[in-house]
Amino acid sequence: MKKNWNLLENLTRCELDKDFPTALSFYKDAVSKNIHLNHRHFNILLSLCATCLCDPKAKPIDNSLRSDIHRIGYKIFNHMLASNIKPTEADMTPLVVIAATRKKGDIAFRLVKDMRFYNLCPTLSSCRIPLSFFCENLEVDKAYSVEEYMVSMGVKLEEKEIVALLEISALYERAEKVYSYLQKLRESVSCVSETTAQILKNWFSLKSASKMGKLDWDVGLVKEAVLKNGGGWHGLGWLGKGKWKFSRSRVGSDGSCSGCKEILVDVDIDLAETEKLAELIASLSFDKEITATFRNFQEWLHNHNLYDSVVDGKNAGHSEYGGFRPSKLILVVKELYNKNKSPLAILDDQHLREVSKAFPAFLNQWRDQQLFHSAPNGASDWFCLYAAVKRKCLIVTNDSINSNPKFLILGNNFFLKWKEQYQVRFSIVDAAAKLKMPPPFSSVIQMASKLN
Ligand SMILES: [Zn+2]
């Protein structure tokens, strides 16, 4: 086997130029000279197979190459396997794309499912290809089966996919499916796009939409379901029959709708998911000593549950000129106290010492009222996040509170939604803290509380 150092350079240039024909000639040349190809070479070649079919900016290919591309793609893929290279999803996705462009949706879906043979878990990037193929070609049951497969693999759908499924379900008048996708849309997208709004409008103006729905229901049961879901939605299916009215209206800063006069509610995060988030935060790994202190803190928190807000002490006292200013923290805590949002300040040990030095009287008073808790240096934000999630109370910080990759288990938007609902930001103006509370209502699909 010979090595050719120029091959990668040449293929990379083709990749940039989106030039499959030239890349193919380099490949053929390499094969004829018995040159060893590595994973990167194969991956460029495979992705170019798909690029030249779907990217309008790709270098044009003639018809004979176009009709042969699936054969070439498989040949390259099999060559890669024969070279003992374990494929990744990125290597297989081009084959899925090629199948879909050849109108072979079943093959595209099978390829996605075949990823398991290589110990790969497909993600949205490959699953969305057969899904959108079946939606575009109106093969409704096949589209549902791709979605079921995605759910079974833990792949979350995004707005585009949910809406495609919703649209095709509306077309086939599958009212229960429309309802379930509406629910999924509600769970994963906060504010829908203009295109989605139009598709929803189309559904609600259909005759079948007015005919669906139960005629009686148990009001108590509905109320209970709404409460369990955190507000704004009962999830019990279509209730009532009759023509829908579709209109656009403005929502005031207090959440009141100018159209129907209902008030949008602050939809709470699902209880089970919140508990899971708290567990995930608790499972983040730190060194032994910090973890031991954290276990004590968990126990302490369990017995002290009368807080409405948790203050990230390090952030509240953070000075824009660097360093820590105890007076800023005190202003924030005072303001929360005045606003009846019983605060718990969580402070790194070193900052606690600074507060105690500068304002000993305050610290004593706080101690009596149990308004603070210390944390090992550098760990206070972790303690703070846990306390806020666990106790379902406000978190006071100007920090962006970045999501940890572990939280993705709960879905991309979950942590963002949690933040939107629980984070209080603050500013210090004229020696007083001004708090910016989370919005009083959630920007999410909601159902009217008056069911009629
Ligand atoms: Zn309204």
Q: Which of 283-287, 343-347, 399-403, 447-451 has the lowest mean pLDDT?
A: 447-451
Residues sharing a CB contact under 8 Å with residue 372, sequence separation 6 or more, in sequence order: 313, 344, 345, 346, 347, 352, 363, 366
- Are 41 and 77 in contact by the 8 Å Cβ rule? The answer is no
Q: State the chain's mean pLDDT as an integer.
A: 89
Ligand 1 centre and the CA of 247: distance in Å?
A: 8
**Is the pLDDT assigned to residue 3 strictly greater than 70?**
no
CA of 252 relative to ligand 1 center, distance in Å? 11
Instruction: For residue 190, report the distance from its CA to the centre of ligand 1, in Å.
Output: 17
Distance 262 CA to ligand 1 centre (A): 6
For residue 319, name the pLDDT band (cuts at 50, 70, 90): confident
pLDDT of residue 346: 95
In degrees to the nearest 10, what's the CA dihedral of 236, 242, 248, 252? -50
pLDDT band at 452 (very low <50, low <70, confident <90, very high): very low
pLDDT tens digits, one per residue of 404-424: 777 766 665 678 778 888 999
Ligand 1 centroid to 452 CA: how many Å?
13
pLDDT tens, residue by residue, 202-252: 999 888 888 888 888 888 888 888 877 777 888 888 888 888 888 888 988
CA of residue 272 to ligand 1 center, whole Å: 29
- Whole-number Å distance, alpha carbon 1 to ligand 1 midpoint, is 71
Which secondary-structure segment (H or E) carries 73? helix 63-82
CA of 261 to the centre of ligand 1 (A): 6
Cα–Cα dist 136/158, whole Å: 17
- Report all structural domains of the chain as residue ranges with CATH numbers, in order of start: 271-436 (3.40.50.11980)
Cα(241) to ligand 1 centroid in Å equals 19
Higher pLDDT, 341 or 286: 341
Instruction: Give per-residue pLDDT as tens, 354-363.
Output: 999 999 998 8
